[in-house]
Every structure is written in C-alpha cells, then in structure tokens.
Structure 1
Amino acid sequence: MVLKTEGLVLRQTKYDDWDKILTIFTRNNGKIQAIAKGARRPKGSLIVGTQVFAYSEFLLYRGKNLYQVNQADIIESFFSLRDDLYKLAYATYIAELVDAGAVDELANIKLFDLSIKTLRVLSKLKKDYKKLLIAFELKYISFIGYRPHLRSCVICNKELGNRVKLSAAHGGSICEECSYRGYNGYAVSKDIIAKIDQLLYVPLDNIEELCIPSKDLNIIESLVLEYVMNHIEKRNFKSLEFLKNLEG
C-alpha cells in the first residue's frame, strides 16, 4: 500500500551505514515508524526531508513491519531552531511530548496542526519561549483528551470562590467546599487559575501580547507540568532535564 501524507519527523535512529528509522507524526495516519534508506548519505535525496523537526510531504510504502520512505519533499525545515540552543531544547521537548501523546496510526489532526503551529511560532519568537511552551502543553493535553476544567469546580460545577485548589488527579479546579470534603490539590489563587485559562485559549500567534509576571509564570509552569505528567505514561524527558539545566 502506498501512502501520501504530510508528516512531522519527531525522532530518528541510525540504522546500518546509510539508513535511519524515523518516527513520523502524520496528519491523517497518526504516528508511524518508517525506514528511510540512504537518508544518511550526504548527497542523498532524502537527507533534508527526513531531519528531526522536518515538516514534509511523504510518499510511503507500507512494508511488513515498517513503512518505507520513498520520497520526502520538505514543506518547512524549521532549521533555524538549531541555531539557538534554547529554541532547540524547547523544540526537542515539544517533539518528545508529541511522541508520547500521539497514538500509532490514529489521526489527531488538532494535535498535528498544533505541533506545526508551535514550531512555526517558536522559530520566530525572540523571547517568551516558556510562555509559548506552557500554552502548548495546555492545548496538547486538551487535544489528547484531558482538557483541564478551570472555570468552575470540576467536582460540583459550582462557581469558584477565592480559595481554590488545582488537582491534576481530578482534572481541574476544586472549590473550597469540595476541598473540605476531601478532594485534594495544590492551593492556588483564583488569579493563577484565570491566567492558566488564558494560556489554554490564547491563539499562539498572540502569545507575546499575553502579560504574565515571571513569578506567576514560574508557578503556572510547575502546575501545568504536573498536570501533563499525570495524564501521560511517560514521565522522564531528557530534553526537559536539559532545559532545566540550561535555564539554571
């Protein structure tokens, strides 16, 4: 079977002298594994379109165990992400998250479009990388089925008061009354919940217009990361550790 599809290269592994195995997140066929024969040859026709972060139009042949890449025409290389160590670290973490959340051969077009959009915005940003990443994480976790319930209590659906908790386990905000009934979470201000809600729904093109103080952003970063990690199977990300070391 021959498959023609747009795809984003999330990961590559060396295979034999000139070949490599790719993890590709495709628009219409979800995550797939494919072998790109000759893709490591310096002058090979597949070298550009099969790099990590490459957004390409792929022509694939389905073999017994793996797809085979017959053609990879580059749409966007996102090559500039490699010129900035911080951007490279953020992009690598984004790719790892998508790899962890995407399902083999099950399309998730919203997540696919989000991934491309985030890399596109990141490649142009001169600051606010952390803000962009948190907005991505919130949209990402929503598109794989775990959107946080923020605007009212996730347990009783009543309006939130001034004393609020955010619970990864329960999937959102918890009011004071439900907290007294034994539903636990991290105590946060109502303002922090409102800012998380803003990050969840802000268009990524407008991320620089969203003003959040650094102190609040650091709190939100920890809360959102805990929320994400509570809902995916993978918890250890080498890129995240590198990013933390990089930022000190």
Structure 2
Amino acid sequence: MQEFVKLTGMVLKTVPIGEYDRRVVILTKERGKVSAFAKGARKPNSRLVAAASPFSFGEFKMYEGRSSYNIVEADISNYFEKLREDFEAACYGMYFLEIMDYYTRENNDEKEMLKLLYQSLRALQLPSLDKNLVRCVFEIKALVLNGEYPGIPNNRGNFTESTVYAMSYIEHSPVEKLYTFTVTDKVLKELRAIADIYKKEYMDREFKSLTILKDLTT
C-alpha cells in the first residue's frame, strides 16, 4: 500500500517529460528541495496544471517512488498572479527561483529559505518597493541564511552610514520584517555594488533570468 506525504512548498522549476508529463522541483518546508513527477500535467484539463507551474505555493500530496516523488494532488493557495502580469517582476521572480534551486538541498532544513522566497515574491508585487532593492535584500539575506555572509566589506568607510545600517538590518532582521524600509538612490546604488561583489565571489554560475533582467534595466 502506498504511503502518502503532504508537503508545503513552492514550485521552483518545471521540465516537460514525454508527451503529457512534467518533472517539477519544489522547495518544501518539511524536506527541503525535492523532485517530483506530475503525470498528465501538460494536458489542458489536468488537475495538476497549477501544481506544475513556477511560483505556485501550496500543499502537495505525493508518494515516494524509487527515484522521485509523484504528485497525486495539490492545493495551491498562492499563484502570485501579479508576477505573471508584469514581465519585469516575473523576471526578478524567476531569478529568485533560480537562486533557491542553486542554494537549497534535499533533506536540509530550508524553512527560512522558503520563507525568504515567499516574502520576496510578495515584495515584488508591491508598487511602493523598488524591485532592485528587493533583489539586493534577497541576495544578501540568502547569503546570511546559507552561512556564507562575510559581513560588511572591509572598506566600509567608502559607504554611507545609511548603507552600513541597511546591511546590518538585512543581516539581523527576521525574514518577515525585511521589506519594511526604503532607501535613497545613493544607498541603493551602494547596496547593489556590495551585492554584486558577494554574488561574484560566492556564486559560481550565471543565471538565465539575470541575463534578461540586465537587458531590461540597462
């Protein structure tokens, strides 16, 4: 008899398999990053269409196969529709999904990473927040949660006091309170420079969505 598990998480990536199926990667609260098959998800009338779509967040009912999970049903509570309606926001969001796919691992405790991803996607939908600021905060906090954050750069004297304060706030604040501030253009420029330095040093790959973002913002 098959034993089912219910995992809460967000779809990071989907890949078509065969004629009708999809393989999905889900960042879950209970078991870290997992791979699963959504059989028939490419059929227009399939009940698993939403379960095999990036950004979909909810509860996934699955059973374990020999090498992967298999999704039986899903209760999706947030589709992040506004991201799907805004191409630039969607590019930022896809970049965040790629980062999480890069950082997270199966059977790791990734609850804080999942929380960071969820709150960051919510922040991208807020017209009051600069999307580039959301990106800076996301990148820096991801380093903190992954245990790679090196602290404020040694040449901190080259940055304004407000930038140093913002870095400290990002490092020490709980994820739920990350996106509760705005900054001046000068501070944002300095945060962007710092985040770029860290990204170059700690991430050894390029991200497809980031290439698109560069074309959009330059």
TM-score when normalising by structure 2: 0.89
Q: Cα offset for 1:247?
A: 0.6
Rg larger in 1 or in 2? 1
Letter in 2 for 1:243: L
Letter in 2 for 1:194: Y
Equivalent residue number for residue 114 of structure 1: 116
1:70 paired with 2:40, answer no
Contact 2:159 2:190 in 1 (8 A): no
Extract unaligned runs of 5+ from structure 1: 151-165, 167-172, 176-186
Contact 1:131 1:207 in 2 (8 A): no
Q: Cα offset for 1:132?
A: 1.3
Distance 1:120 1:189, change over 3 A: closer
Equivalent residue number for residue 218 of structure 1: 189
Q: What does the per-residue CA deviation read over 1:37-93, in whole Å, with 9 as the maximum and x for residues that have no partner?
A: 011111101112321000020011111111111111101111220110110011001
Q: Cα offset for 1:117?
A: 1.3
Quote the Cα distance in structure 2 between the aligned partners of 1:79 and 1:128.
Answer: 19
Letter in 1 for 2:35: Q
Extract unaligned runs of 5+ from structure 2: none
Contact 1:32 1:67 in 2 (8 A): yes
Count residues with an aligned counterpart. Answer: 214
Quote the Cα distance in structure 1 between the aligned partners of 2:124 and 2:199.
Answer: 20
Q: Cα offset for 1:102?
A: 0.5
RMSD: 2.1
SS across alignment from 1:124: coil
Counterpart of 1:87 (choices 86, 89, 114) is 89
Identity %: 26
Quote the Cα distance in structure 2 between the aligned partners of 1:131 and 1:198.
Answer: 13
Q: Cα offset for 1:118?
A: 1.2
Equivalent residue number for residue 9 of structure 1: 11
Letter in 1 for 2:208: K
Equivalent residue number for residue 154 of structure 1: none
SS across alignment from 1:96: helix
Letter in 2 for 1:236: E
Quote the Cα distance in structure 1 between the aligned partners of 2:155 and 2:10.
Answer: 37
Distance 1:238 1:89, change over 3 A: same
1:209 paired with 2:165, answer no
Equivalent residue number for residue 159 of structure 1: none
SS across alignment from 1:209: coil
SS across alignment from 2:25: strand
**TM superposition outliers: structure 1 runs of 4+ over 4 Å:** 201-206
